[in-house]
Chain A
Amino acid sequence: MIEEILLAVLAVMAWSVLYKQNPLFRVAESMTVGLTLAFVVYTGIDVLGKRVFAPWSQGVWLTPTTVAALLGFMSWTRLGPRSISWISRWPLACLAGIGTGLAVKGVVGPQILGQLTTKSLIASDPLTSVNNVIIVAATVTTLCYFTFSYRHTGVLGASARVGRVFMMLGFGATLGGFVMTAMGYLIGHMFVVVKPPAVYVVAVALAVLGADVIRSRRIM
């Protein structure tokens, strides 16, 4: 029961900004950042403890982990004055290089060669053939739209304009899915908030809100 009431109080504090900016929302916002900060620090130190400090405490020093840890400590100089913060460029460059290397090694297969093959444009079923032609047309015209090395005139320009229409279809599909995702954020908590005992907290909050609306109308 106390958890449900607490959830209702937090919901009222956080969503009160939908009415107008107020100190309750600022407190909820500050709490969120403070809790997240503590969570980040605790989990980060926990992982470092398991992967770096635990082997060191057992006398295991000559491992790739040690070199990575030294680079990691160097990266923390980023928080220091300019006279030492340049040291952080090396480990951060190393991290960026590793990330880019991992991305490049996997990009050719699944993201380029895998996407360039197409199903048969003359399938046994005419509807499938039409669909495959549409997919190819949408892919080619979208790539034409994003080709900025040449002016969009002539065939390229016409393809880019067709690509723009196809892209509206694609982004419309994404927008349709966005609604379900966005609503999912608030539906989960509403399930608790509209039932007793949390609903009593909400009722009080709505009464206060109504009183504020009436008060502001009288002032106007």
Chain B
Amino acid sequence: MLFYVAPMLFIVFEYYTGVGSNAASALITWGIILSTFTYLIGGFAIFRHHILKIANKNNDWPYSAILMATFASFLGMAYLHQPGYQWVLENVYQPLTILMFGFVGFYTVTALFRGSQVRNIHAGVLITCAVLLMLYNAPVGEAIWPGFQTLGGWLKDVPNTGVMRGVVIGVAIGVLATFVRSLLGLETSYLGGD
């Protein structure tokens, strides 16, 4: 708990009193370095999972082998042949990353197809507002009727702002509640699932 509470309290103390700026800067540097180490933990965990899968010849192990082969060749290129690494980064890695996110677009449309069967007033309000904002965002909406810009803009700037302001305040209160809980020793989520 000391490792959790002490840096947290010190950063807040320094912000409101101005005392100990150098130490607070050092803590921020700790955060930057530590986050890099933890960034690698995830990578190593996935690496270990797939190596074990190949070794034990578990279900779908050939795909894990492809994964490891891709990993090894890309990492090897990064250290041995930078131009090749850059080429693969721009022409294979980036397209594949975007393509895998491309499913979001397709499944959004199917979700809207099924979700737009209005069953009650709340769903009707949600769908109507969504349609108006779609026509606000798309330039063709303004070409069809300039009122979509006015109406969509009003929905975004007035009722939506009020709602999101409530959400932001709620989230902020949650952060403060976490702060108080950790001071009281009630917050243990940072210990993981142990």
Q: Could you tell me which A residues sit within 8 Å of B by CB distance?
A: 3, 6-7, 10-11, 14-15, 17-18, 26-42, 44-45, 47-48, 51-52, 64-65, 67-69, 71-73, 75-76, 78-79, 86, 89-105, 107-108, 111-112, 115-116, 131, 134-143, 146, 163-180, 182-186, 188-189
Contacts and interface: CB of A to CB of B under 8 A. Distances in A.
Contact of B98 (A28, A102, A169, A188): A188
Interface residues of B, number: 116
Nearest to B132: A176
A111 B168 contact: yes
B125 to A, nearest CB: 4
A37 B34 contact: no
Contacts of B125: 165, 168-169, 172
Interface of B: 1, 3-12, 15-16, 26-48, 60, 63-64, 66-72, 74-75, 78-79, 88-89, 91-93, 95-106, 108-109, 112, 121-123, 125-134, 136-138, 152, 154-173, 175-176, 178-179, 182, 190-192, 194
A142 B102 contact: no
For chain A, what secondary structure do more than half of its interface residues adopt (helix, strand, loop), or is it mixed? Answer: helix
Contacts of A38: 70-72, 74-75, 78
A198 to B, nearest CB: 11
B88 to A, nearest CB: 7
A116 to B, nearest CB: 7
Contact of B43 (A44, A168, A172): A44
A178 to B, nearest CB: 6
Contact of A30 (B70, B108, B171): B70
Query: Could you say which of A28, A42, A95 has the most chain B C-beta atoms within 10 Å of its C-beta?
Result: A95
Contacts of A177: 133, 137
Residue of B42, B88, B128, B179 most packed against chain A (CB within 10 A): B179
A72 B30 CA distance: 9
B160 A170 contact: yes
A32 to B, nearest CB: 5
Given A93-B190, A105-B11, A176-B134, 6 more contacts: A35-B71, A100-B179, A104-B179, A112-B176, A180-B138, A189-B95
Of the listed residues A10, A48, A163, A185, the one surrounded by the most CB atoms of chain B closer than 10 A to its CB is: A185
Contact of B46 (A37, A100, A143): A37
A84 to B, nearest CB: 13
Given A76-B41, A90-B3, A97-B5, A35 B129 contact: no
A78 B41 contact: yes
Given A30-B64, A52-B33, A95-B35, A175 B133 contact: yes
A153 B20 CA distance: 49
Given A30-B63, A37-B71, A166-B162, A44 B40 contact: yes
Contacts of B128: 172
B41 A10 contact: no
Contacts of A30: 63-64, 66-67, 70
Contacts of B104: 182, 185
Given A44-B36, A176-B133, A107 B75 contact: no
Contact of B96 (A14, A180, A185): A14
A173 B129 contact: yes
Contacts of A44: 36, 39-40, 43
Contacts of A138: 158-159, 161-163, 165-166
